[in-house]
Amino acid sequence: MVLNYIWVGFFLIAFVTALLSYLFSGDTIVFKNIIDNTFASSEMAVMKIALPLTGVMTLWLGLMNIGEKAGAINFLARIVGPFFSRLFPEIPKNHPASGQLLMNFSANMLGLDNAATPLGLKAMNSLQELNPNKEVASNAQIMFLVLNTSGLTIIPISVLAQRAILGSENPTDVFIPILIATVVSSLVGLTFVAIKQKINLLDKVVLSWLAGIIAFIGGIIYLFSNMPKEQMETISMVASNLILLIIIISFIGGALIKKVNAYEAFIDGAKEGFTTTIKVIPYLVGMLVGIAVFRASGAMDYLIGGLAWGFSKININTDFVAALPTALMKPLSGSGAKAMMVEAMATYGPDSFVGRLSCIFQGAADTTFYIIALYFGSVGIKKTRYAVVGGLITDLAGIIAAIIVAYMFFG
């Protein structure tokens, strides 16, 4: 229901904004822009997102099926079982879904977007099999989705690369602020869902796992804090791809040891790739068109202007306002937020406060509405319960944390 109100709101706000723009300025081009963007965004949803996703989905669902047949997924499930049994109590002990969730979270943390999406869709499908009400999001599905919207990534290599391209003197100086902001958003999202689902985060198993994860991230911060950009990029690229290759070889090697026909297992799993992609197309088109209409009407610009005016009236330092377009666009569109980030760096300079903050915004959270449309759409969830609210709270936490750490490091 919340998603419905938001989606309808995009169109109503866009229409009112465009109409007022016409009445006060006589500008008719805004109507053409809105219609042009509906066609462009629907084409992008199918041609640039869904169709390329088909090949990746086919590959990784095939590999995941090999991993399941070889027992690798169950092995991972046993490792994280004690932790996930507290966060996802609906998942039975040693169920393959736990291993799939771990694979997805790991791929996201490594910045392996092409692998993370199909792994996440596979995990969502497994959670749907455990879901007693197929049209209503289960507790486990909501926890999984909200943690995904936090966008926890250890090394945001695309952000660092873009800073280097635009001539930053120290492209990696936003690395630690981004990591801090995204950890905060993840913890806030986890806490929100835990409160709603009455999950005890003070359980010693949960605390020990969270402490271990935070310690690991702290070690990454220490390791990379004074490392040259080129060395960081090299280590990140080699480590990410090596881990991915090890996973693939482990799955196939396990199949050989257990005398599983790896090729047939791959084909059986890969068959799901096309059908899964077809399922999500209507959800992607609907959400991306709504977002495009909202942007094309100029509503986003008015929102930013209103926020700047409001903050100035209460004597709050408004240096951060110029970077807000990236923050507000991030939950709506990953490509749109990236464009806003690049524009901010090009306009103000990559090493300016606004340029750096826009980069921190970009890395602090993920595309909430895209993730909801993609993951819930793939399994036919119609009632999202508090998943949207949880995702937006996570985004807000990332925005606030990004502003605070930006002032701490660069203010």
Per residue of the chain (411 residues), give pLDDT as tens: 667 888 898 899 999 999 988 888 887 888 999 999 899 888 888 887 788 778 877 888 888 889 888 888 788 888 888 888 899 999 998 888 888 898 888 887 766 666 778 888 889 999 999 999 999 999 999 999 999 888 787 777 778 778 888 888 888 788 888 888 998 999 999 999 999 999 999 999 999 988 988 888 788 777 776 677 677 667 766 776 787 788 889 989 999 999 999 999 999 988 887 887 888 888 888 888 888 898 889 888 888 788 777 877 777 777 788 888 889 888 887 777 887 888 889 888 999 999 999 999 998 888 888 888 889 998 999 899 999 999 999 999 999 999 998 988 887
What is the per-residue pLDDT for 242? Answer: 81
What is the per-residue pLDDT for 133? Answer: 92
Task: Tell me the chain's radius of gyration from C-alpha atoms.
Answer: 22
Integer Cα distance of 390 and 181 in angstroms: 17
- How distant, in Å, are the alpha carbons of 127, 128, 157, 316, 374 from that of 122? 9, 10, 25, 45, 12
Integer Cα distance of 111 and 363 in angstroms: 11
CB burial class (10 A; 0-12, 13-18, 19+) of residue 14?
buried
Integer Cα distance of 405 and 225 in angstroms: 15
């969830």: which residue's tokens?
Answer: 381
Task: Return all residues near 158 (Cβ < 8 A) that are at least 6 apart.
Answer: 111, 338
What is the per-residue pLDDT for 229? Answer: 62
Integer Cα distance of 386 and 118 in angstroms: 24
Q: Outline where DSSP puts E strands in 39-158.
A: none
Positive or negative: CA dihedral 156, 285, 395, 194: negative
Q: Is the pTM of this model over 0.85?
A: no
Closest by Cα among 365, 363, 343, 367 to 355: 343
